[in-house]
């Protein structure tokens, strides 16, 4: 599986650790940056990640910033993305099972490396449940305001 990963400056360390974790698990990783802790704007990297998943360059996305909130908002601006902010494995699994999330976001200042790895494992090992959830997910793709 190919996983895109992106962060802002606050989450560069966690991004590097999760990218290696994914590689060790046999996944291809598309690291969209940044490369260092110089200040950057999270929307720029959230948009890159959203485009990579929407275009099919990656199956799933992992978005990281200090809290996870800002970058998740940026990723979710793309209509093809369903990015869930998670902080523990159950929410990561439910994001896939109930919402067919194709990206997760985490906050490097709030979620330690071991918990982030557990969230990522739960997310990637859970299938979309379909059924009663399918119609709801369709409404997310084609909203009627």
Binding residues: 8-9, 66-70, 99, 109, 132, 136
Catalytic residue among 27, 65, 83, 119: 65
Tell me whether residue 83 is one of the annotated catalytic residues.
Answer: no
d(CA 82, CA 10): 23
What gap in Å lies between CA 120 and CA 138, rounded to an integer? Answer: 24
**Binding-site residues for D-ribulose 5-phosphate:** 8-9, 66-70, 99, 109, 132, 136
Angle between helices 113-125 and 12-24 (to 10 degrees): 50
Q: How many CB atoms lie within 10 A of CB 17?
A: 16
Q: Are 15 and 70 spatial neighbours (Cβ–Cβ below 8 Å)?
A: no
Which of the residues 78, 83, 98, 119 is marked catalytic? Answer: 98
> Is 14 buried (19+), middle (13-18) or exposed (0-12) by CB count in 10 A?
buried
65 is catalytic: yes
Which are the catalytic amino acids?
65, 98
């Amino acid at each position: 599986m190919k996983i895109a990963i992106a962060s802002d400056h606050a989450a560069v360390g966690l991004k590097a650790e999760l990218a290696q974790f994914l590689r060790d698990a046999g996944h291809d990783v598309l690291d969209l940056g940044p490369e260092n802790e110089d200040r950057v704007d999270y929307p720029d990297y959230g948009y890159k990640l959203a485009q990579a998943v929407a275009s099919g360059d990656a199956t799933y996305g992992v978005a990281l910033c200090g809290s996870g909130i800002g970058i998740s908002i940026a990723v979710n601006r793309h209509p093809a993305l369903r990015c869930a902010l998670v902080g523990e494995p159950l929410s990561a699994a439910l994001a896939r099972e109930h919402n067919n999330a194709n990206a997760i976001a985490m906050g490097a200042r709030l979620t330690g490396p071991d918990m982030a790895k557990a969230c990522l494992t739960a997310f990637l090992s859970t299938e979309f449940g379909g059924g009663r959830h399918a119609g709801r997910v369709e409404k997310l793709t084609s909203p009627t305001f």
